[in-house]
Structure 1
Amino acid sequence: MAHHTFLLDGDYIELHIVLKLLAIAPSGGAAKAMIADGLVVVDGEIETRKARKLRGNELVQIGSEAIRVIAAE
């Protein structure tokens, strides 16, 4: 499993943007499709909201990828 850390530079970031920025999805549209298809898990639960706001301390999983979102200080 590949592990990534994403450090927020604001209050939140939307889920589909994180997948795109970390190149887990090749585009924003592909990221939204992955989420809609139920392939993304946030904190142990399947997430289908494309614009889910991640505010820090969440664990996002998709396939063999895991992303820890860290809140800005």
Structure 2
Amino acid sequence: MREVQITGDSIRLGQLLKLADAVDAGSDVKQLLATGEVTVNGEVETRRGRQLARGDEVSTRAEDLKVV
């Protein structure tokens, strides 16, 4: 699991995926989420605006991320 450090108290899912280079461009986030292959804390998530806080875990088909 790769840790992704954020500067504020929270970050949106779409921003995290871009920050972690899980997508090439911000516009690719919507397509990735539409596949149903992104989970947040073990549950499928399709909202790119989902707020994440430190300790949340995000999984894609390619890798697992933890917000720190």
- Unpaired stretches in structure 1, ≥5 consecutive residues: none
Could you say what secondary structure the match of 1:35 adopts? helix
Query: 1:67 is matched with which residue?
Result: 65
For residues 15-44 of structure 1, the C-alpha deviation after alignment (integer angstroms, 9 at most, x for no partner) is 011111111100111012111221200111
What's 1:26 paired with? 24
Q: Where does structure 1 differ by over 3 angstroms across 4 or more consecutive aligned residues? A: none
Tell me how far 1:11 sits from its aligned partner.
1.6
Q: Say which one has the larger Rg.
A: 1
More strand per residue: 1 or 2? Answer: 1
Instruction: Provide the C-alpha distance between the structure 2 equivalents of 1:22 and 1:12, rounded to a whole number of angstroms.
Output: 15
Tell me the SS of whatever aligns to 2:27: helix
Pairwise mapping of residues 1-73 of structure 1 onto structure 2 (< 5 A)?
3-70=1-68
How far apart, CA to CA, are the structure 1 residues paired with 2:21 and 2:46? Answer: 19
Letter in 2 for 1:49: R
Distance in 2, matches of 1:22 and 1:63, equals: 14
TM-score (norm 1): 0.84
Please state whether the residue corresponding to 2:36 is helix, strand or coil. coil
Instruction: Figure out how many residues of one structure are paired with residues of the other and give that number.
Output: 68
Q: Percent identity?
A: 34
- TM-score relative to the length of structure 2: 0.89
